[in-house]
Amino acid sequence: MPRRVRATVEYDGTDFAGFQIQRSGIRTVQGELEAALARLSDGVRRAVDGAGRTDTGVHASGQVIAFTYAGPADDLELETALNGLLPPDLAVRGVRRASPEFHPRRAARYREYRYTVWNGPRSPLRERQALGVRVPLDVAAMARAGQAFIGRHDFSAFGKVVGDRTPIRTVHAVRVRRTGALVTIDVRADAFLRGMVRRIVAVLLEVGRGAMTEDEIREALAARIPARNGAAAPARGLCLRRVALGRGRAETLDDRNVTETDEGR
C-alpha cells in the first residue's frame, strides 16, 4: 500500500545546480533524491516535492520534502536506506508518514533563510558557506534598514515573479546580528520571490557599507524599481534553515543553532 512520506533535508548546495530537477546530466537535489528513492522502489521513479526551490549554490539545513513510497521499509529503515544511497553533500532526517494529500510547498506556513557574512580577513574555512566582506559593516544600520521590508509588500523590485503569480509577499521578520566577525541576516516570510533574499541582502550590505540608506530601500520597494540594478548577493552565503508547517506558534525568529523543521502539529 503506497504511503505519503515527508522528511527534512540538509545539503551543501555548492555542487548542486539548485533543488529543482533539470535535464539529465545536471546535478540537482531533487534529481539525487528521486534517483535514490527509485533504487529503493524497484526502479520506479516518483516525484519528490520540496517546500522551496533553492537556486544553484544555495544550501539548506531545513528543507522539507514529501514523496509517495510503496516499498516494505518502515520510516526509520527508509531514512537509513536513503542516507546510505545519497552522496555526502545531501542527507535526509526525520522521515515520517504524512497525510495522503501533504505537499510541502502548500503546507508551508513560512520559510526562514539565513545569509552568512564573514566580515573579516579572508577565511578559507568559511569560504563555502559565507560571503567574505572586508570593509567593516555597520550592523546596527543594517538591522534598522531591514525593518523596511517587514509587512505585506509588492516585492517586484526584489525578485522575479515566476509565471503569472502575484509579486506580493509578507515578510515577518528581518534580523541582522554580529558575533565577532560573523554577521548573520535572517529573513522570514510566508514565501519568497525568486532571488528575493539575495537581493534584500545585497541592499542591506550596501547600507552596511554606508553606500545606501533605508529611505532608498523604501523608495525602491514603493516604486517597484530594482535597487542597484537588481544586484543579488552570492548564493554561497544563503541557507534555507526552516520551513514551518501547519498551524502557527508564536512568530519569533528561531534562536536555535540548528534549526529543525517546525512540526506544527
Build a one-symbol-per-residue string for 31-60: x at contacts with its own copies by CB under 8 A, - elsewhere.
----------------------------x-
Sole window of 81-89, 106-114, 141-149, 224-232 interacting with its own copies (rule: CB under 8 A): 81-89
Residue of 43, 72, 88, 100 that binds its own copies (CB under 8 A)? 88
The alpha carbon torsion through 107, 237, 185, 223 (nearest 10 deg) reads -80
* 234 lies in the site for its own copies, by CB under 8 A: no
Is the sign of the CA dihedral 16, 53, 84, 127 positive or negative? positive
Tally of residues, the chain: 265
Build a one-symbol-per-residue string for 147-186: x at contacts with its own copies by CB under 8 A, - elsewhere.
--------------------------------xxxx----
* 255 lies in the site for its own copies, by CB under 8 A: no
Q: Which of 12, 49, 55, 254 is catalytic?
A: 55
Residue of 25, 72, 124, 163 that binds its own copies (CB under 8 A)? 124
Q: How many CB atoms lie within 10 A of CB 72?
A: 8
Closer to its own copies by CB, 91 or 150: give it: 91
The secondary structure of 35-65 as a DSSP string is HHHHHTTTT----EEES--PPTT-EEEEEEE
Q: How many CB atoms lie within 10 A of CB 189?
A: 24
Closer to its own copies by CB, 93 or 218: give it: 93
Left, alpha or beta for 18 (phi > 0: left; psi -120 to 50: alpha)? left
Clarify whether 55 is annotated catalytic.
Answer: yes
Q: What is the DSSP letter of 194?
A: B
**Positions in the binding site for its own copies (CB under 8 A):** 10-12, 59, 61, 83, 88-91, 93, 120-125, 127-129, 179-182, 239, 257-258
